[in-house]
Amino acid sequence: MRVVLQRVTSASVTVDGITVGKIADGLLILVGIAQGDSPDNAQWLANKTADLRIFEDEHGKMNLSLIDTGGSALVVSQFTLLADCHKGRRPAFTAAAEPEVADQLYQYFAESLRARGINVEQGTFAADMKVTLVNDGPVTMVIDRDS
């Protein structure tokens, strides 16, 4: 399982021109679910995401977490995070989980953040989404959790 965290001052996701999720300050979280991933992986990553100190305190140091700041999360599924680009010129997506499993773990990840008290907006699983963001910093982190 892989997440890409982007600290944002705003982010939104639209499907067919309709906004399905929108946040102000917080994190845009792209989530890729791999074959063999489990609810334990999703829970671990949700906790890491909620507690990771990547927001600045009053001294400009990254000492505050999403929970500390009261920020929101926009969670978007993105199987292309699992692309294998080692061979040839066309990415392979064989490491990505089957859609039914991936959707369940994507939903579980979002619910795990909500259980920590975070306001969570979501994209639409398996839809053609358009994501807009203003990256703050910019600060972008990639976190992996192997199954």
Number of domains in the chain: 1
The CATH number linked to 99 is 3.50.80.10
First-to-last C-alpha distance (Å) of the chain: 7
Instruction: Kindly state the percentage of the chain with pLDDT values over 70.
Output: 99
Report pLDDT for 145: 87
pLDDT at 146: 77
What pLDDT digit, counting tens, does each position of 111-139 carry? 999 999 999 999 999 999 999 999 999 99
Instruction: Choose the catalytic residue: 14, 79, 109, 122.
Output: 79
- Choice among 78, 104, 107, 140 that is catalytic: 78
Kindly indicate the confidence band of residue 147, based on its pLDDT and cuts at 50, 70 and 90.
low
Q: Is 6 a catalytic residue?
A: no
What CA–CA distances, in Å, run from 1 to 25, 54, 89? 25, 20, 24
Give strand pairing partners of 130.
14
Residue 30 to residue 102: CA distance in whole angstroms? 13
| Position 8 pLDDT exceeds 90 | yes
Domain that holds residue 107: 2-144
- Quick check: is 55 catalytic? no
Quick: pLDDT tens for 83-108: 999 999 999 999 999 999 999 999 99
